[in-house]
Amino acid sequence: MLYSARLLKEKLTPTIFEQLDKYPGYGFVVCGHSLGAGVTGLFTLLFNSEHPDVPIRGYAFASPATMSANLSVACADFITTVVLGDDLVPRLSFGSIEDLKQTMHHFLANTGTNRARILQIVKHHMVHDSVPLNKQLVSLSSL
């Protein structure tokens, strides 16, 4: 995504300035969904860091994690991210996977539940999506 954002910035910057010269007083908007939303956020950040006087707004719908929490707060004035409900893509990051891994290790060590049973519950959840996974894991701890 970063490669794409850098490439787009390099290719589009001359056109952006051409249009801004043609229409003084205007800014521009960048918008994307899912993978394109990740590129949108990074493009907007890169462009804004090089041209802070140019009005730019980025709208990222269901963006994957592309920034640290601190950086996303710093970009809040010019990037808006929209997430619907429990959408997995925006919440999945290296940190969330690491947290899940640590939680599962702790759970396995403290409940005596075997890995096969946990995988069975996860598979069932992915297929049926009826009971939230965290409630299924809590119910396992009483086994």
Q: What is the CATH number of the domain that holds 18?
A: 3.40.50
Question: Are residue 86 and residue 32 in the same domain, yes or no?
Answer: yes
Question: Are residue 83 and residue 99 in the same domain, yes or no?
Answer: no
Question: Are residue 66 and residue 28 in the same domain, yes or no?
Answer: yes
Question: Are residue 80 and residue 104 in the same domain, yes or no?
Answer: no
Question: Are residue 64 and residue 127 in the same domain, yes or no?
Answer: no
Question: Are residue 77 and residue 101 in the same domain, yes or no?
Answer: no
Q: How many domains is the chain partitioned into structurally?
A: 2
Task: Provide, for the chain, the percentages of residues in helix, strand and coil under a 3-state DSSP scheme, each rounded to the nearest 5.
Answer: 60, 10, 30
CA distance 93 to 99: 10
C-alpha closest to that of 56 among 72, 71, 75, 73: 75
Q: How confident is the model at residue 22 (pLDDT cuts 50, 70, 90)?
A: very high
C-alpha closest to that of 33 among 78, 63, 66, 77: 63
pLDDT of residue 128: 60
- The domain of 119 spans 94-140
Question: Are residue 109 and residue 129 in the same domain, yes or no?
Answer: yes
Q: How confident is the model at residue 127 (pLDDT cuts 50, 70, 90)?
A: low
Cα torsion 62, 126, 131, 103 to 10°: value is -80
Question: Are residue 37 and residue 64 in the same domain, yes or no?
Answer: yes
- Assess contact for 86 and 52: CB atoms under 8 A: no
Could you give the angle at which helices 94-111 and 133-140 cross, rounded to 10 degrees? Answer: 20
pLDDT of residue 121: 73
Q: Which residues are catalytic?
A: 34, 87
Q: Taking 50 as the threshold, does the pLDDT of residue 133 lie above it?
A: no
CA distance 58 to 22: 21
Question: Are residue 85 and residue 104 in the same domain, yes or no?
Answer: no
